[in-house]
Structure 1
């Protein structure tokens, strides 16, 4: 299986700094210090370009179209919208419209005394990731699991069928082309869709429509990959709870040398529990072991498990990464205030 896995990332985005650690809104400093972020001296690599400033909503993902349009997404809490487009150096607007970002019945529903995320298939609930394919389609990954506040406690309700979805938007018409929802046998109530990649080659499925690979980083341990046949809409899971997709027990990330823990009122210090956070296809797209549907191939799960290989350590906790046609994988490394580049050397077997 030629699939680069990024395991145990996204740690800093869900963590809280230890008490009394000074945190500034502007995370860059003119001089380095024991409690300051390292500065870019400009002695290596191209200069940094400041393109956009976020003031009202903090983004979780972005994507850029062929024409240079920039789209951003925000995991939903009290934000007015969860999918936006950059319209100036300091502002974004709801995309494609505020209406599509506003489920009429709200972001969550209560059933038998239990709160679930909205089951609205036609509106965006809480978008985690974006991706633009070569045909200039914007793909939107909606977890269906917003952050809510009940009795002064912040929580994330379980997903309800219909809420978690993959949406394709035509950037020429700014309209939705297609929406893919997932059955409860594929997307569990505790699933959390974190990232996505595509293989659009016509020969990867019998339908010829290509396939979407979605990461499930469930913080309750039911991690794995979700695959969708883009022509038929059929979906399935692979590598369920494989060790490579699981959280590392009692892992403590740090930022500038300061350890980060999960903090909840009335609870002891906790640890990050989400597992697999992202994925990147290699330039050869050899993912046939994930493409096999366990519903039609009884050996699919075993073959996928057997083909996982450990490609080594990254040198820190990464948060977001992508690849290029040369086989490089670029990893954002918050712990180092840097971008790491991993060079994948293809191993030819046979």
Structure 2
């Protein structure tokens, strides 16, 4: 079994002191490792960059390592167990092989768990430098109780496009015989949308593809690591895209989402979104614009219905409460392009992908500084949870 060098930690401060200087500086320009909030480095990965993160109720930790930016030869889905990455659900599915695309994991991106604690992932199907092969992009469900695949739903046209970038997903067990998956397609082009998948039947459709809530904002400006950057579809200088961040409300009655190249938060009732008979006009009329937040690549929800926001422009993770107030959970110069985010009962977990440092956004120079960090920060109890 192939192992990846990594550092596992029990406390952020202790690990930061123990890590070599390069690891302490990972994700920074200045090398400053002093945190402005409480967070713990769970692991530091020296190989491929992480994206998706999911934690089961029993505490099992799963990490996704997509291949759309680097067509690496390591596991694309792995369980972090005692400081070691174990290909999951097994090496045959997670490592590169000659098996047909629909029978293996190509490029695991967003991840989540459902209300029964089962693991779900979106396979974006993309290998760097190659077109997406038929059968490669799919929704995958795995039951950690048995470590068996319980669902494989290949995404097909017209729900799937040649330029699709199936980025993240959430699974709602309150709609459909076996649940409904909502997928954010941020697009490798400029055609973002939401994709709705009935897990029992595999029925799927692409929705809100022409709606402002799924599209990148023209002229959008971002400030990343002190650099003001303007969205230019022809010459991107930072990761851009349509519908990207996605999360369910605590009771699964609403889906919250946002384009990557945007600071606005939108939502729609799942009663409407999961209804395959709803027209585009009805769906568009059901979208609620909640106003500005921050630029996000990931959203997560806790049991008190608070939303956690990755805030790459601020080197931070932020929290939006139901009353509309927003606070900083943690801010630190090592939090460079926070990506996948997951809230369990006690902590918020986040992968730091450094995706804005990829060569394609920096004149061909790879500015990433491995190792790539997986961090977590405590959830402060709310009155609803006390």
TM-score scaled by structure 2? Answer: 0.66
Which of these residues, 309, 316, 324, is aligned with residue 302 of structure 2?
324
Query: Structure 1 residues 161, 269: closer, same or farther in 2, change over 3 A?
Result: closer
Partner residue, 2:271:
288
Structure showing the higher strand proportion among its residues: 2
Partner residue, 2:111:
130
Partner residue, 2:90:
97
Write the distance in 2 (CA, Å) between the matches of 1:277 and 1:290: 17
Question: Aligned residues, how many?
Answer: 284
Query: Structure 1 residues 281, 132: closer, same or farther in 2, change over 3 A?
Result: closer
Write the distance in 2 (CA, Å) between the matches of 1:37 and 1:213: 39
Partner residue, 1:3:
none
Gaps of 5+ in 2: 1-21, 254-268, 325-386
Judge which range, 129-138 or 270-279, deviates more.
Answer: 270-279
Q: How does 1:76-225 map to 2 (within 5 A)?
A: 76=67, 77-89=71-83, 91-105=84-98, 120-148=101-129, 157-201=130-174, 204-205=175-176, 208-225=177-194
Gaps of 5+ in 1: 1-23, 107-118, 149-156
Structure 1 stretches of 4+ moved >6 Å: none
CA drift at 1:79? 3.4
Judge which range, 130-139 or 234-243, deviates more.
Answer: 130-139
Write the distance in 2 (CA, Å) between the matches of 1:125 and 1:255: 30
CA drift at 1:142? 0.5
Write the distance in 2 (CA, Å) between the matches of 1:209 and 1:268: 42
1:271-319 CA-partner distances (Å, limit 9, x unpaired): 64411112122234132221122xxx3x5111001122221111x3222
Partner residue, 1:40:
35
Partner residue, 2:202:
233
Which of these residues, 258, 262, 286, is aligned with residue 307 of structure 1?
286
Alpha carbon RMSD of aligned pairs, Å?
A: 2.9
1:68-127 CA-partner distances (Å, limit 9, x unpaired): 1111001111232211111233x3121122211245338xxxxxxxxxxxx611101011
Q: Is the 8 A contact 1:332 1:340 kept in 2?
A: yes
Write the distance in 2 (CA, Å) between the matches of 1:101 and 1:232: 25
Query: Structure 1 residues 210, 185: closer, same or farther in 2, change over 3 A?
Result: same
Structure showing the higher helix proportion among its residues: 2
Partner residue, 1:116:
none
Higher relative contact order (CA 8 A, sep 6+): 1
Write the distance in 2 (CA, Å) between the matches of 1:158 and 1:28: 32
